[in-house]
């Protein structure tokens, strides 16, 4: 089977499935952050401890991302997406049924380990079914799964938690992940890939040996993901505790912000297709992220209402680069290494996010939100000289 052997509608349906399954996984992965206000108010947890609990899915992700990538390289996308979504749903149901916060945290960790399956598999599904001149756009669309998952979680989970408690709130990601498992089992077709014995030697070679290109992209992505993680984790609680917003209004703004962020990823992907470059736009986005986070820190320190608009702008900018890096890595690594390379990419990013949540929670508790925003502005600045030039050719 080749890319041209299935109809256009069927090929685009692969994108829809990849987007939906990864969105559902991100409702689980990032939804725990929207339990922070309830954990803080009802359970008496400080922001550092609540942030640690909310980061358990991200810690789970970093344990298994490369392993899931290896399974994708060996067994294909369909089985990985189906099994991973089903296991994520089971862990979410178990977390909702647990009595203690320690047990909840353990099941969130296990769910994150299962949810890691969607990252490499859905990325490979998109890259495998679309030609290079469309990959930036379609990967940008697929990458909207993260902000859409965050936005959907922000719209639903805080209200459920505030009205019915943590247990009921966790049933929502459980239900959507169960539906995703059924959809993947019925709809996914593994993209074409030549047999290993027929593949060119350069496609089978380890892309990490003899080149710093992938390592530099990973490093840049780590530096750029921290401001994104800080905003995703603490925007809701900042609006509620620092600006006096209700859970409903704060959740709605977070949802709107994530939809705008999704549009930003699509636009960045299309930008890369038009210019023929995946990495030059990343450099521009890093510069913009530094500026936006610095202005947010300053205006929040001055208690200016402009800071609300700036946190929206900063949230959109800081998510726009992810699809570009993901596409570049998949193209550079090739069909026999892209699962592991994408797993490595996500491992480094999610580990950074998991560490950032409790660390910046502690910074906020001691020094306040402006200090956390200011520190976040330094990291994309440090990423600028690390962004490599685009390779002359990709696999």
Give the CA angle between residues 139, 188, 19 to the nearest 5°: 35
% residues pLDDT > 90 (the chain): 34
Check pLDDT > 80 for residue 4: no
Q: What is the pLDDT of residue 89?
A: 96
Domains in the chain: how many in total? Answer: 1
- What is the mean predicted confidence (pLDDT) over 15-26? 94
In a domain, 199, yes or no: no
Contact 243, 298 (CB under 8 A): no
Contact 355, 162 (CB under 8 A): no
In a domain, 198, yes or no: no
Q: What is the pLDDT of residue 42?
A: 65
Check pLDDT > 70 for residue 395: no
- What is the mean predicted confidence (pLDDT) over 244-254? 84
Q: How far apart are CA 40 and CA 368, in angstroms?
A: 16
Residue range 39-56, pLDDT digits in tens: 766 666 677 777 788 888
Spatial CB neighbours of 271, under 8 Å, sequence gap ≥ 6: 136, 281
Q: What is the pLDDT of residue 365?
A: 86
What does 99-114 look like in DSSP terms, one character per residue? SSHHHHHHHHHHHHHH
% residues pLDDT > 70 (the chain): 93
- What is the mean predicted confidence (pLDDT) over 96-120? 89
In a domain, 201, yes or no: no
Residue range 356-365, pLDDT digits in tens: 878 888 898 8
Check pLDDT > 70 for residue 133: yes
In a domain, 86, yes or no: yes
In a domain, 75, yes or no: yes
Residue range 323-357, pLDDT digits in tens: 888 888 888 887 778 778 888 888 888 788 878 87
Structural domain range at position 127: 3-190+206-386
Instruction: Look at 200-204, 316-320, 369-373 and tell me which has the smallest mean pLDDT.
Output: 200-204
By C-alpha distance, which of 251, 225, 200 is closest to 36? Answer: 251
Q: What is the pLDDT of residue 380?
A: 95
- What is the mean predicted confidence (pLDDT) over 114-124? 87
- What is the mean predicted confidence (pLDDT) over 210-232? 90
Q: What is the pLDDT of residue 196?
A: 64
Q: What is the pLDDT of residue 40?
A: 66
Contact 368, 80 (CB under 8 A): no
Contact 350, 65 (CB under 8 A): yes
In a domain, 395, yes or no: no
In a domain, 323, yes or no: yes
- What is the mean predicted confidence (pLDDT) over 306-319? 93
Residue range 143-198, pLDDT digits in tens: 888 778 888 888 888 888 877 877 888 899 999 999 999 999 999 998 877 666 66
Q: How would residue 281 be classed by pLDDT, with cut points 50, 70 and 90?
A: very high
Check pLDDT > 60 for residue 375: yes
In the block, residue with structure tokens 């979680």: 153
In a domain, 290, yes or no: yes
Q: What is the pLDDT of residue 286?
A: 94
Higher pLDDT, 89 or 34: 89
Average pLDDT of the chain to the nearest whole number: 86
Task: Enter the pTM of the model.
Answer: 0.73
* Domain CATH number, residue 277: 1.20.1250.20
């Amino acid at each position: 089977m080749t890319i041209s052997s299935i109809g256009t509608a069927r090929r685009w349906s692969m994108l829809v499935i990849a987007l939906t399954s990864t969105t559902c996984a991100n409702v689980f992965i990032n939804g725990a952050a929207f339990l922070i206000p309830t954990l803080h108010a009802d359970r008496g947890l400080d922001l550092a401890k609540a942030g640690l609990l909310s980061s358990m899915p991200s810690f789970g992700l970093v344990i298994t991302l490369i392993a899931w990538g290896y399974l994708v390289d060996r067994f294909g996308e369909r089985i990985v997406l189906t099994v991973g979504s089903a296991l994520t749903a089971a862990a979410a149901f178990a977390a909702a049924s647990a009595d203690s916060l320690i047990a909840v945290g353990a099941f969130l960790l296990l769910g994150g380990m299962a949810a890691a399956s969607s990252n490499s598999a859905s990325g490979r599904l998109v890259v495998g079914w679309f030609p290079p001149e469309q990959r930036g756009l379609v990967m940008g669309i697929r990458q909207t799964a993260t902000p859409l998952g965050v936005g959907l979680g922000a719209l639903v989970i805080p209200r459920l938690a505030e009205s019915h408690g943590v247990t009921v709130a966790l049933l929502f990601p459980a239900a959507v992940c169960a539906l995703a498992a059924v959809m993947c089992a019925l709809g996914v077709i593994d993209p074409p890939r030549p047999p290993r014995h027929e593949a060119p030697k350069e496609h089978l070679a380890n892309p990490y040996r003899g080149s710093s290109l992938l390592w530099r992209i990973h490093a840049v992505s780590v530096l750029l993901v921290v401001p994104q993680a800080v905003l995703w984790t603490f925007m809701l609680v900042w609006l509620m505790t620092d600006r006096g917003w209700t859970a409903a209004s704060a959740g709605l703004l977070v949802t709107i912000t994530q939809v705008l962020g999704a549009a930003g990823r699509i636009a960045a992907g299309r930008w890369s297709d038009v210019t023929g470059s995946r990495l030059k736009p990343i450099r521009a986005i890093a510069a913009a992220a530094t500026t936006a986070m610095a202005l947010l820190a300053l205006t929040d320190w001055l208690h200016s209402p402009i800071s609300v608009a700036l946190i929206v702008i900063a949230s959109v900018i800081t998510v726009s680069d992810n699809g570009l890096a993901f596409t570049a890595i998949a193209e550079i690594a090739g069909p026999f290494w892209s699962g592991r390379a994408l797993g490595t990419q996500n491992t480094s990013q999610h580990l950074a996010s998991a560490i950032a949540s409790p660390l910046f929670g502690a910074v906020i508790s001691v020094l306040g939100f402006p200090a956390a925003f200011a520190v976040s502005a330094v990291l994309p600045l440090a990423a600028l000289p690390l962004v490599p030039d685009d390779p002359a050719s990709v696999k």
